[in-house]
């Protein structure tokens, strides 16, 4: 799947608008097959990114979890260690 699509639920601090939009952009790129749409398709592409961002934001706000919030720095450190071991 796309590298920028990350789990955004249950983090402290919560997901930012930029993180939600980056995930939406990667999702729309994957669906459409475009990394950069033509001028003809640009409006539809951007509208799709906006709509997916809005839906993702609503989803994240409506979901509930009983588990404690995860720390972004700890998760990032674990991911770097996994990558280091995988690509060493």
Whether 4 is covered by a domain: the verdict is no
Structural domain boundaries, residue 46: 14-87
pLDDT tens for 45-70 read 999 999 999 999 999 999 999 999 88
Whether 80 is covered by a domain: the verdict is yes
Whether 69 is covered by a domain: the verdict is yes
The yes-or-no verdict on residue 32 having pLDDT over 90 is yes
Distance CA(63)–CA(11), nearest Å, equals 13
The share of the chain scoring above pLDDT 90, in percent, equals 62
For the stretch 37-57, what's the b/e string if a residue is b when 16 or more beta carbons lie within 10 angstroms of its beta carbon?
A: beeeeeeebeebbeebbeebb
Domains held by the chain: number:
1
């Amino acid at each position: 799947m796309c590298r920028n699509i990350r789990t955004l639920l249950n983090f402290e601090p919560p997901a930012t608008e930029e993180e939600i939009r980056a995930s939406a952009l990667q999702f729309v790129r994957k669906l459409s097959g475009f990394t950069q749409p033509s001028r003809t398709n640009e409006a539809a592409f951007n509208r799709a990114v906006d709509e997916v961002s809005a839906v993702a934001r609503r989803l994240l706000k409506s979901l509930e979890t009983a588990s404690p919030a995860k720390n972004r720095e700890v998760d990032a450190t674990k991911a770097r260690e996994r990558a280091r071991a995988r690509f060493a």
